[in-house]
Structure 1
Amino acid sequence: MIEPGPAGGEAPVALITGAGRRLGACMARRFHGAGCNVVLHVRNSGPEAAAMAAELNGLRASSALVCQADLLDLSALGNVANEAAGAWGRLDVLVNNASSFYPTPLENVTEGQWEELMGSNLKAPFFLCQAAAPFLRARRGSVVNLIDIHAERGLKGYPVYSIAKAGLAAMTRSLAKELAPDIRVNGVAPGAVLWPEHDMDVAKQAEILSRIPLQRTGEPEDVARAALFLAFEAPYVTGQILSVDGGRSLFS
């Protein structure tokens, strides 16, 4: 369980973007189970997030709420940070998880795809950090960015996504300097943890698995535990990116 911290016995508060489904939902449950109150940001997954908030509030009263916003609308980011910090009077952790992911072969990339992928994976996390910084600074809190092992080695067929995640990795290291000493900023870079929601044939999955030393996919809980560690259990760690990939990034 997480220690409440110097301000008293109240629970720490974690804002998790894209928390309605997949990795975001798993992290929300993990942070909540460790003792946090959680703000579940969603864009389109309102019903799923509402059901999860009801579940979590059933386990511990008044410990979860849903915040619905389009993070590509920069005017909404201040409201998201204010709502998260105002719910329980504090904000201890921002987890930038919300992300768009789909293939963009170079010859077919549109400006709209560029704007969406850069916006969700880089621009929104940057400006949400900006909006949340005063609240996080008051708590000597932390930021955890969900990156990708392909930030280091671009994923063929996904150049815009790979470029955006490389920018997020650079942002993590840069903001670790900008926000020190009051706010720590780190990243988690998952490998093959959940297969993409768009079609990926079995042969392609097998080819990916063949290049993973542990010879299997990871679990969402692997990522959630890493994020929780960086958020609360690594007080002398900042500007680092932890690969959770079964050893995949050891190879080209």
Structure 2
Amino acid sequence: MEFTGKTVLITGAASGIGRAAAVAFLREGATVGINHINQSHLFAELQATHADCADRLIELEADVRNGSEVKTMVDTLIAHTGRLDVLVNNAGVSQIKPFLETTEEDWDFIINTDLKSVFLCSKAAIPYLKINHGAIVNIASELALSGRAQYGPYTAAKGGIISLTRSLAREFAPEIRVNAVAPGPTMTPMLEKEALVPGHKEDLGAIPMGRYAEAKEIAESILFLASTRASIFCGDIISPNGGAVMR
């Protein structure tokens, strides 16, 4: 119960990896701010599923691409709990599209959601994280390391997250530890949606473990990096990907 009495903010936490991370932090005693946009029904479902600790769930509906909404979100959480100990920058979207068909609007949507949100949320949270020597865990992707055709904006955004992680780690250590998780293919609603695209499939043959990760497995990596067990980790990128990327 390392996180008892501590507050965690997770963006894009209504489903997928964000939701699994929220459950993991709840298990460890944290109060968890659940950011989402237009997904109040999923927040209500999370509350119902974890009724025994629903009082430690705080709904934070905000568009993390918008600086004023991000500030309001963080201010609301601080008003509720009086502190912030961990920020998990998880919100993200993806798109499968040939590069020459990718529009400027496509590029802006993905870069703003996946990368700009990390900038905005980190900037709003860092003054509070410094008080408690907190941690930031950013969610990148193994595709930032390996690349993939027809994922141009997504891989660019996730590569940017890795670079920003290292920059922030150097600037704010030792007061704040900043690290990232770069998952491999993980069974989430986003992956299930991509699987419906004609001709698209994740190649299990390229994964030595022979399967996709489960969201709860990625959540354990997030929990680890946020905990004192990772006290020497700074600017590190851990990649739970079943062996798909070996460096």
Q: TM-score range by the shorter chain?
A: over 0.9
The alignment's TM-score, normalised by the length of structure 1, stands at 0.91
Partner of 1:8: none
Corresponding residue to 1:152 among 145, 156, 180: 145
1:156-198 CA-to-partner distances (Å, cap 9, x unmatched) read: 1111110111000100111001111111000011101123423
Partner of 2:122: 129
Corresponding residue to 1:186 among 146, 156, 179: 179
Q: Is the 8 A contact 1:187 1:240 kept in 2?
A: yes
1:10-50 CA-to-partner distances (Å, cap 9, x unmatched) read: x1111011111111111111110111110000012111012
Displaced runs of 4 or more, over 2 A: 53-56, 198-205
Partner of 2:65: 72
Q: Is the 8 A contact 2:47 2:54 kept in 1?
A: no
Partner of 1:208: 203
Corresponding residue to 1:20 among 10, 14, 17: 14
Q: Which amino acid aligns with 1:82?
A: D
Q: Which amino acid aligns with 1:49?
A: F
Partner of 1:226: 221
Partner of 1:7: none
**Larger deviation, residues 74-83 vs 124-133:** 74-83
1:66-117 CA-to-partner distances (Å, cap 9, x unmatched) read: 0001112222111111122221111000000010111132111111111111
Partner of 2:2: 2
CA spacing shift, 1:83–1:240, aligned 2, 3 Å? same
Cα distance, 1:218 vs structure 2: 1.2
Aligned length, in residue pairs: 243
CA spacing shift, 1:135–1:43, aligned 2, 3 Å? same
Runs (5+) with no aligned partner, structure 1: 5-10
Coordinate RMSD, CA, aligned: 1.8
User: Is 2:103 the partner of 1:107?
Assistant: no
The alignment's TM-score, normalised by the length of structure 2, stands at 0.93
Cα distance, 1:54 vs structure 2: 4.3
Q: 2:192 & 2:216 partners in 1: Cα distance?
A: 17
Corresponding residue to 1:49 among 24, 43, 53: 43
Percent identical pairs in the alignment equals 34
CA spacing shift, 1:3–1:163, aligned 2, 3 Å? closer
Corresponding residue to 2:156 among 156, 159, 163: 163
Runs (5+) with no aligned partner, structure 2: none
Q: Which amino acid aligns with 1:164?
A: A
Partner of 1:29: 23
Q: 1:49 & 1:90 partners in 2: Cα distance?
A: 22
Cα distance, 1:199 vs structure 2: 3.4
Q: Is the 8 A contact 1:53 1:66 kept in 2?
A: no
User: Is 2:242 the partner of 1:249?
Assistant: no
Q: Is the 8 A contact 2:93 2:114 kept in 1?
A: yes
**Larger deviation, residues 44-53 vs 171-180:** 44-53
Q: Is the 8 A contact 1:50 1:66 kept in 2?
A: no
